[in-house]
Amino acid sequence: MNSFRWRKIKSGIATSLAALCVLLAVAPLFMIFFYTLFQGISALNLDFFTQMPKPVGETGGGMANALVGSGILVGLGSLFGLPIGILAGIYLAEYGDNPFGSIVRFLTDVLSGVPSIVVGVVAYIIVVLPMKHFSALAGGVALGILMIPTVTRTSEEMIRLVPHYYREAGLALGIPQWKTTLRIILPTAMKGIATGILLAIARAAGETAPLLFTALGNRFWSTSIGQPIASLTVFIYDYAKSPFEDWIRQAWAAAFVLIAMIFLLNLIFRIVTRGRYAER
Amino acid sequence: MDIPAKLDNGRSGSEVATAPPRTPPKKRGTFRGNVGDFVFKHLTLLFAVMVFSLVFLMAYEMYSGSRLSIEKFGLSFITNTTWDPVQDEFGALPFIFGTVVSSMLALIIAVPLSVGVAMFLSEIAPIWLSRPVSYLVELLAAIPSIVYGLWGIFVMVPWIRTSLEPFLSKTLGFIPLFRGAPYGFGMLAAGFILAIMILPIITSISRDVLKAIPNLQREAALALGATKWETTRIILSSARSGIFGATLLGLGRAVGETMAVTMVIGNRPVISASLFDPGHSMASVIANEFTEATSDMYVSSLVEIALVLFFVTMVLNALARIIVWSVTRKYNVAK
Amino acid sequence: MNRFPKIVLLLIATCVFALPSSAQLKLNGAGATFPYVIYSKWFDVYHQKTGIEFNYQSIGSGGGIKQVTEGTVDFGASDAALTDEQLQNVKKKQGTEVLHIPTVMGAVVVTYNLPEVGNDLRLSSDAVAGIFLGTITNWDDAKIAASNRGKQLPDEAIIVAHRSDGSGTTNIFTDYLTKVSKEWETKVGRGTSVNWPVGLGQKGNEGVAGIVKQAPGSIGYVELAYAVKNNLSYAALENKTGNYVRPTFDAVSAAAAGALKGMPEDLRVSITNADGKDSYPISGFTWLLVYKNMKDKTKAKAMVGFLKWAMGEGQSYAKNLYYAPLPKEIIKMCDARIASIAIK
C-alpha cells in the first residue's frame, strides 16, 4: 500500500472518529431529554399545576405554589438584574472604549463564571442576615446577580450591531446624543436585547443552589417577598432524593416543565437572532 | 465619503469607534444643551460602576464572613483533612481533593470528545449539518444542573452500579483506582456527569477558535497536497492555546457545579484512592451544610470555602478569557 | 419604545402581586426530618382547622438548632436536645430562653435492602457497630450470620448509607452506638454530625431512605415512618437485656417508661439502650424548640394554641404515622412548660 493511500485512510479514520465524538456528545442530550419527557409527561396532570403539596408520604397534590414561586423569584431577579445589566451594557457600547470599559467588560465575563452557590452565600450574608429571616427577596437578589453578566453582554453586543448610520441620522437631525441612543438605537436593538433577557431568565429559572438558603422553601401558597417561598427547582431537589414514589414522579414532571420552558426560550432566542444578525 | 469605523461584533471591541464626530468642542464648564448627555452618560456610568464593584463587594463580604476561620486556621485550612463540626475543627482538604479529582476526571473524558466535535463542526461538516448540530450541543448547556442531577440519580448511578463498576472491577480491578464496593454513587458518577455538563462550553469555544483561524492556512496545506486530516492537524496545532483556554473555561464550570454533583457524589468527606468511593466537593459541602452550621466557626469555615471557590473560578475564567481573546485577536488582525 | 412599557408593567405587576398577600397568620419553622412525616400532617390539619399557616422546612436538626439560634425562624425542631452551651448561645443572641417541648417519640430503625432475605433480619449490637464502623464489610459475615441461623445471607458488599447533614436522627443513632460499642465511642462518638468511617451520605431521612431503596445490598438508619411508608425492611435489634426487639409502639413506650423516673424538668433526655426486656434500644423523643418570650405576641398565642392541640388531638395521629404518642405523665410536664410561654 503506497504512502498516499495510507494517508487517505488515516484521514478517513480521523473523520469517522470525529463523527463518533459528535454522536457520543449528542447522545446524552437525547437520553436526558427523552427520559425526562417520558417520565415527566406520564406524571403530568392538571393537579400538578393547580394543587398544593400534600403532607409527607401521601400521594397526590401538586406544585402550584412552586410554579408561582419560581415565577416570582425570576421576576424579582429581573427587577434587580435587568436595569443594571441594560444600563451597564449601554455604557459599554456607547462610552465604553476606554480602559475602564475594558475592565468592566472583563469583570462581567469573569462574573459570569462565578458558581451560583457562591452567589447564594453572598446573598445570604447581605440579605438574609440583616433581615433576620429567609425571604423571596434574598432569592431574587441572588438570581439578579446571576442575570447581570448575560444581560450586560447581550445589551452591549446588540447595541453595537445597530448600524452606525442610524446614529448619524439622528445626530444630523439635531437630536442630542442621549436621545438618539434612547429613542432610536435602543428600540432598534431591543429585539435582540429582549431575547438576551429571555436567555438570562431561562438560566435564572433553572437555578437551585442559590435558593437553598435564601428563599428556603414553603409548603404553603405564598406570594409575599418578605417570606420564604417555594420554587420548582428546590422542590425537584427535595423530592428527587426522597424515597417516596409519588414525590419522585412529581419531580420528573417538574423537570419536564422546566426543560420544556427553557428549550422554548432558547429556541425563540435562536430564531430571532438568526433572522436578524449574521451567524458568527 | 469614507465611512469611519468598521462594525465589530467580536468579543474584544476595543478598537472600534462607534460615535461619529461630535459637535465642536466647547470651553470647559459650559453646558450648551448637553445636560441630557451629561446626565445620561453618568447615569449609565453609574450602573457600569455597580457591575464593577459587584465583584469586589462579593469578595469583601465573603472575606469578612470568613474572618474567624481565616484567623484561627490560616493556611492549615487547606491542608487539614479533619472536618469536625462537633470539635469546631475544620480542614477543607477532602473537599478540595473531591473538587479536583471530579473535575480532572471530567476533563479527561470531555476534552477529547469536545475537540473531536469542534473539529468536526468547523472542518468537516457541511453548513447544513454543522448549524443544527452546534445548536444541539448548545442545548446541552441549557439543561439545568438539577435536571442533570435527577437523571444522574435514577439513570446514570444505577447503570454505573450494575454495569460499569462491576465491569471495571473485573477488568481493571488491580489498579487502586477501580477498587471497592460498587456504590454507584461516588467520584466516578460525579466525573461522568460533570463531563457531560462541560462538554458544550469546551466545544463551542474550541469551535470559535478553530473558525477564527484564517482559511489561508487550510488552503496552503491543501495546495501542498495534504489530506483532510493532515490539514486539520496543522490547524489544531495553531489553535492549541485557544483550545487550552476553552479547557480552562470548562474546568472553571466543573469546579463550581453544585447540584448535579451533590446528588451523585456520595457526600462523604474522605480522600480515597478509588474512584468507586464516595467523596465530597467544595460546592456540595456548602449546599449540604450551610443551613445548619450551628457555630460561628462552622459558618465562617463554609464561607471560607465559598471564598476559595470564588477565587479559583475567577482566576480560571480570567486566564481562559485572556488566552482565548489573544488567540482570536491574533487572527482577527491578520485577516 | 413600545417594548419598554410592557416589560415595566410586567415587573410592576409582579411586585404588586408579590406584596404581602393575605391577613393569614404565618409562622416559619425549620428543623428535624425525623418527625417531618407527622409534622407535615399536623400542620396541614391545623391549617384546615384554623387557617393559620405553619410553614415547616425539614432541613435537619442541625439546621433547626442553627436557625433558632440566629432567630431566622419562629420555631425550630430537633431530635438532638441542645447542649448547655447551645442553650446559652440562644439566650445570648435572642435574649430569651428556648424551650424543649417533646411532641412524639419515634424509633430509629436499621433499614436494609436485601430482597432475598426478607424483612426479619436480626442484628446484634456488635453487628450494627461493626457494619457502621466499616469492620464488617460483607453480608455473609459471621457476626451477622450468628444471629440469623437458618437464613441464607448473600455474599455481597454492604453499602452503608448515613446522613450528610446535621441530624438529630444521627444523634440518637450514634448515642446508641456509643453506649453499646467501646470502639465506636473512642473512634467516632456521638453528635448530630460525626466523622463517619464508611458509607454514602445524603441529606435528610428522605435521602438515606432514598439510597437504601435504590441500592441493593445497602443499609441505613431512618425513622420508622420513612421505612414503613416506602416498604423498606428493617431489622430487629438486640437490646440491653439481650432480647431481639422489633420497633413497635409498645417497645418504644417501654423505653420511655424507664426514662420517666429521671426525667429532668426541661425535658431533655436520651432514652437509647434503655432498661427493660421489651424496650427498643434506639428510641428517642423529638422536640419542638420554642422561644419562651417571642417578640410577636400574636405569633406566640398561635404557637401556644397549636402546642395545646398537639398535646391533645394531635397525639391521635401518631400511631397511624408510625410514631409513638407521648406517655400521659410527660404530657403533663409539657403542659407546664407550654404554660410558661409568654403570650402577653
pLDDT tens digit sequence for C241-281? 888 999 988 888 888 887 777 788 888 888 888 888 888 99
The 3-state DSSP composition of chain C as helix, strand, coil percent (nearest 5) reads: 45, 20, 40
In the structure grid, which three cell numbers stand for residue C180, read together? 453499646
CB contact under 8 A, A241 and C210: yes
Chain A residue with the nearest C-alpha to that of B228: A11
What the block records as the C-alpha cell of B145 is 444542573
List the pLDDT tens digit at each of the 280 positions of chain A. Answer: 578 888 888 888 988 989 998 898 888 888 998 999 898 888 888 888 888 888 777 777 888 888 899 999 999 999 999 999 999 999 999 888 889 998 999 999 889 889 999 999 999 999 988 888 889 999 999 999 999 999 999 899 999 989 989 889 988 998 888 888 888 888 888 888 888 898 899 889 999 999 998 988 888 888 888 888 989 999 999 888 888 888 888 899 999 999 998 888 888 877 877 655 443 3
User: A195: which 3 cell numbers?
Assistant: 431575547
pLDDT band at B38 (very low <50, low <70, confident <90, very high): confident
Q: Kindly state whether A213 is in contact with chain B, defined as any CB-CB distance less than 8 angstroms.
A: yes
**pLDDT for residue B12:** 45
Report B:305-334 residues touching A (Cβ under 8 A): 306, 309-310, 313-314, 316-318, 321
- Name which of B175, B152, B166, B170 is nearest B102 in CA terms: B152
Assigned C-alpha cell, C264: 429532668
Q: How far apart are the first and last CA of chain A?
A: 42
pLDDT class of C176 with cuts at 50, 70, 90 = very high
Distance between CA atoms of C212 and C227, rounded to whole angstroms? 9
In 3D space, the residue among A205, A72, A63, A233 whose CA is nearest the CA of residue A138 turns out to be A72
- What is the per-residue pLDDT for A8? 87
Average pLDDT over residues C132-140: 92
Of the given ranges (A127-131, B177-181, C10-14, C310-314), which has the lowest mean pLDDT? C10-14
Residue B73 has pLDDT above 90, yes or no: no
Average pLDDT over residues B120-134: 87
Q: pLDDT tens digits, residue range C97-119?
A: 999 999 999 999 999 999 988 88
- Reply yes or no on whether the pLDDT at C329 is more than 50: yes
Positive or negative torsion for Cα A209, A213, A214, A220: positive
Do A101 and A160 form a contact (C-beta atoms < 8 A)? no
CA distance, residue C163 to nearest chain B CA (Å): 9
For A244, nearest residue in chain C (alpha carbons): C230
Return the pLDDT at C4: 57
Query: Is residue B258 over pLDDT 90?
Result: yes
- Cα distance from N-terminal residue to C-terminal residue, chain B: 24
B177 to A266, B124, B130, B180, C276: CA distances (angstroms): 40, 37, 38, 9, 49
C-alpha cell at B23: 459637535
pLDDT at B10: 44
Residue partners of B101: CB distance under 8 A and separation at least 6: B187, B191, B275, B279
Specify the pLDDT at position B13.
Answer: 43
Over residues C213-233, the pLDDT tens digits come to 988 999 999 999 889 888 999
pLDDT digits (tens, 9 = 90+) for B299-310: 899 999 999 999
Between B31 and C10, the more confident residue is C10
- At B21 the pLDDT is 54
Q: What Cα–Cα distance (Å) separates residue B242 from each residue in A114, B135, B323?
A: 21, 21, 6
Mean pLDDT of B132-158: 89
Range picked from B321-325, C8-12, C132-136 for highest mean pLDDT: C132-136
Place of cell 487572527: B331
Lowest mean pLDDT, pick from B86-90, B243-247, C40-44, C50-54: B86-90
At residue B2, the pLDDT reads 43
Kindly state whether B82 is in contact with chain C, defined as any CB-CB distance less than 8 angstroms: yes
Residues B221-249, mean pLDDT to the nearest whole number? 88
Residue of C34, C164, C187, C214 best to disrupt the B interface, most CBs of B under 10 A: C164
Strand C98-112 and strand C233-234: the pairing is antiparallel
The helix/strand/coil state of C54 is: strand
In this complex, do B294 and C196 lie within 8 Å of one another by their Cβ atoms?
A: no
Q: Are A164 and B5 in contact (CB under 8 A)?
A: yes
A37 touches chain B (CB under 8 A): no
Say yes or no for a CB contact (<8 Å) between B137 and A26. yes
The domains of chain B are located at: 92-334
Check if C215 contacts B (Cβ < 8 Å): yes
Q: Which residue of B has its CA nearest to A257?
A: B147
Give CA–CA dist A158/A192, Å, rounded: 6
Q: For residue B5, is pLDDT > 50?
A: no
Distance CA B268, CA C40 (A): 29
- C102 CB neighbour count, 10 Å cutoff: 25
Contact B44 A108 (CB under 8 A): no
Give this complex's ipTM.
0.87
As separate numbers, helices (DSSP H) first and strands (DSSP E) second, chain C gives 13, 12
pLDDT at res. A121:
93
Average of per-residue pLDDT values in chain B: 84
Report yes or no: A151 at the B interface, CB cutoff 8 Å.
no
Rounded to an integer, the average pLDDT of B104-117 is 94
Average pLDDT for residues C175-192, to the nearest whole number? 91
Contacts of C10-17 with C-beta under 8 Å, sequence gap 24+, read: C10/A75, C11/A75, C11/A78, C11/A79, C11/A82, C14/A71, C14/A72, C14/A75, C14/A76, C14/A79, C15/A75, C15/A79, C15/A225, C17/A72, C17/A223
pLDDT digits (tens, 9 = 90+) for C290-310: 999 998 899 999 999 999 999
Q: Is the pLDDT reported for residue B118 higher than 50?
A: yes
Sheet strands (E) in chain C? 26-31, 53-58, 75-78, 98-112, 122-123, 159-163, 200-202, 218-223, 233-234, 236-238, 244-245, 283-291
pTM: 0.84
Question: Is C195 near chain B, with CB under 8 Å?
Answer: yes
Tens-place pLDDT, residues C17-37: 555 445 578 899 999 988 998
Which alpha helices (H) appear in B160-295, and where do they start and end? 165-172, 187-212, 215-223, 228-238, 240-256, 259-264, 282-289
Instruction: Return the number of other C-beta atoms located less than 10 Å from residue C320's C-beta.
Output: 10
Asked if B321 and A109 touch (Cβ cutoff 8 Å), the reply is yes
What was the pLDDT predicted at B1? 41
CB A32 within 8 A of CB B147: yes
* Distance (Å) from the alpha carbon of C61 to chain B's nearest alpha carbon: 8
Q: Which residues pair with B62 in a beta bridge?
A: none
Q: Is A25 on the interface with B (CB under 8 A)?
A: yes
Task: Specify the fold of B92-334.
Answer: MetI-like fold (1.10.3720)
Residue B19 has a CB neighbour count (10 Å cut-off) of: 17
B212 touches chain A (CB under 8 A): no
How far is B37 from B43, CA to CA, in rounded Å? 10
What's residue C12's pLDDT? 62
3-state secondary structure of C218: strand
Note whether B283 contacts A115, CB cutoff 8 Å.
yes
**Among C159, C164, C189, whose Cβ lies nearest the Cβ of B181?**
C159
Is C189 part of the contact surface with chain B (CB cutoff 8 Å)? yes
Dihedral (CA of C174, C175, C177, C178) sign: positive
pLDDT mean across residues, chain C: 87
